[in-house]
Copies of this chain bind each other. A is one copy, B any other.
Amino acid sequence: MSVLNIIKIGGNIIDDPEQLEAFLEKFSALQGRKILVHGGGKIATRIAADLGIEAKMVEGRRITDAPMLDVVTMVYAGLTNKNIVANLQKLDCDAIGLCGADGNVIKAVKRPVREIDYGFAGDILADSVNSLAIKKLLEAEFTPVFSAITHNGLGQLLNTNADTIASSLAVALSKLYEVSLIYCFEKNGVLLDVDNENSVIETIRSGEFEQLKDNKIIHDGMIPKLQNAFDAIAKGVSNVYIGNANNLHLYQQRKFGTCLIA
């Protein structure tokens, strides 16, 4: 199987034009088949506020009502996605921007209403990813760039977590490719000492993860991130890297962040 790298960047990079440009240069320089998944950033919140649309929160969770869905569709799948694609094209990376509806690449279900009605939030199921459509694009030598918008197959767009999109793509495509999933964030990796950026743990095996948790070496906020990563590995992803977007150029030298393996 040939190698596929799936890279996810978050809002902190999207929001900083200089950092984004530097990141896209490193991304475009990566050899081989690759996919970019990007989160939203603060532009949607700002535009919603400018449009007089209130950001609705219930128990600290964001609610996507109909006006907010329009805003995130505009910003994530339009403004942000197309500017990223145009910048990658400048760098000779043949990017093609996608939301889940394009080529029916990711279908989701509207989150069921239980205690909270999340509105137009989409949950990804096991069979949500259309690997064959994505494979067609990869084999045609396009570099897919995913925004965090999906659809339900019935004409409804849905707002979906970008981390989940990245891991769902990685799991589904691991049937066709040898997939590495690379989460870029603001730290250099999983740190032994949260205040020391040089204390990156190079490798964590799934067996060691439990131990690190028990010994409270891994910071609380990192636990769900790592749990999701090991879940993806259990489902077929070769390895998951967590590191600093600014260091992506070190990835193909295997000097990037923390590597999680089975």
Contacts and interface: CB of A to CB of B under 8 A. Distances in A.
Interface string A120-163: 00000000000001001100101000000101011111000000
A39 interface: no
Interface in A35-88: 47, 50-52, 70, 73-79, 81-83, 85-87
Name, among A51, A76, A83, A102, the residue most crowded by chain B CB atoms within 10 Å (CB to CB). Answer: A102
Contact of A101 (B89, B99, B153): B89
A97 interface: yes
A49 to B, nearest CB: 10
A186 interface: no
A156 B103 contact: no
A104 interface: yes
A103 B50 contact: no
A54 to B, nearest CB: 14
B51 A157 contact: no
A97 B90 contact: no
8 contacts: A50-B51, A73-B83, A75-B78, A77-B78, A85-B102, A86-B157, A96-B98, A137-B140
